[in-house]
Amino acid sequence: MSIVSELLEANARYAATFTQGDLPIPPVRRMAIVTCMDARINAFRLFGLQEGDAHVIRNAGGRTSEAIRSIAISERLLGTNLVAVVHHTDCGMLRSTNEQFRQSVAEELGDAAGELAKRIDFQFFPDLEQSVRDDVALVLASPLIPGSVQVAGFIYNVKTGLLTHVL
């Protein structure tokens, strides 16, 4: 059986008992969570939320510079008034630099990929707490996000499940 077939079978089981089709489009808790794409993070469970409670915006490192568009749409069109920025321990974005990553891309994927990688800031960071502070500051400074939106930053410990409120 192919992976795609397995995924479709799992979806059929999910859909057979699905009861959330009438949830409203705006998130009930008026909240957007920006977090890493790391598979160990269940953004709903770590805040005690359920489907329909919040928007979850994910990318490598949970960087807000890539999420501003989605945050603005969440706030402007769907009424969110809280942004939770969640970075996490043992993050892969702590393990490299732009230069190291670009070099590995060029070596393994060739010149065209290497040239493209030179034009991308992959947003690695050496300091977890500072990355949260930087990303919160970016949201607060964005002209697309009104000052009435509350922004909070957290570090999620992937070993214990606990959140630390950074700011």
Domains of the chain, earliest start first: 23-165 (3.40.1050.10)
Q: What is the pLDDT of residue 1?
A: 80
Query: What are residue 7's phi and psi, to 5 degrees?
Result: -65, -40
Rounded CA-CA distance 83/33 in Å is 6
Q: What is the pLDDT of residue 51?
A: 95
Rounded CA-CA distance 109/81 in Å is 42
The model carries a pTM of: 0.94
Q: What is the pLDDT of residue 103?
A: 97
Q: Over the chain (167 residues), what is each successive 10-residue block's mean pLDDT?
A: 95 97 97 98 97 98 98 98 98 97 98 97 98 98 98 98 98
Length of the chain counted residue by residue: 167
